[in-house]
Structure 1
């Protein structure tokens, strides 16, 4: 699923297996007035296909930011993160972990794999989730200078 691509807007790849959490994220982005092109993939294999422009994602646009869940079907989010950070052109895309897990082991492992930040989400606390999305917008889409998009995978 993709929102309409608007030139000049940040492009966000959301890797999330739960349609309910995807809708929650989309609603939070709208509520926080985050103007972006959002593309949603449902599992780890599809995420890497998208990033490497394989199969139905052959013409995908390189994201400026990746929002990555950990507990994904087919290929776990940690494996996706490792694949992203092992690739010379993909590793520079900021990757934000959005997970319901607050386990120290998960957090440590993600930082060892070079996640750019780790945010624990609570789908039952929409106000807290809104604040997390606002923080992502302020930091990653407003304050920092993002690297130029890599044209080839």
Structure 2
């Protein structure tokens, strides 16, 4: 953590959506450090510090899209839950998928929340007090 702030990893293949999250954070005075990955494979490399990537500090809050190339969000979530180091990762889904099957699949893998991208403001308003008031394990 930097200055007591938990790092946020945005896993999203659309750069415009990634920047929209960052803008929403700035508008809400949510100063947590952010990192971005374009898909699940890149996110795993960042979390593990593999393939020449520096390892992200832990704990790390993950905002995860579902529909991405190479490795989608549900597959990444399965990988995280099967890895002893990351099985307790704090994951919020941020997606356009309103499908009940996606929502059920995400919650079966212990996500902290499921937000549609159209409700980005609600996600930021949820995360701000969650990150500031929560006691995270180091």
Gaps of 5+ in 1: 123-127, 149-153
Q: Distance in 1 between matches of 2:52 and 2:129?
A: 32
Aligned-residue Cα RMSD (Å) equals 1.6
Deviation at 1:53, TM superposition (A): 1.1
Q: How does 1:2-13 map to 2 (within 5 A)?
A: 6-13=2-9
Task: Find 2:127's aligned residue among 123, 128, 136.
Answer: 136
Residue in 2 aligned with 1:66?
62
Contact 1:12 1:63 in 2 (8 A): no
Q: Give the paired residue count.
A: 138
Instruction: Say whether residues 1:105 and 2:96 are aligned partners.
Output: no
Q: Distance in 2 between matches of 1:96 and 1:20?
A: 19
Tell me the SS of whatever aligns to 1:67.
Answer: strand
Deviation at 1:7, TM superposition (A): 3.6
Q: How does 1:67-86 map to 2 (within 5 A)?
A: 67-86=63-82
Q: How does 1:6-85 map to 2 (within 5 A)?
A: 6-85=2-81
Gaps of 5+ in 2: none
Which segments of structure 1 move beyond 3 Å, counting only runs of 4 or more?
A: none
Contact 2:13 2:37 in 1 (8 A): yes
> TM-score normalized by structure 1?
0.83
Instruction: Say whether residues 1:147 and 2:117 are aligned partners.
Output: no
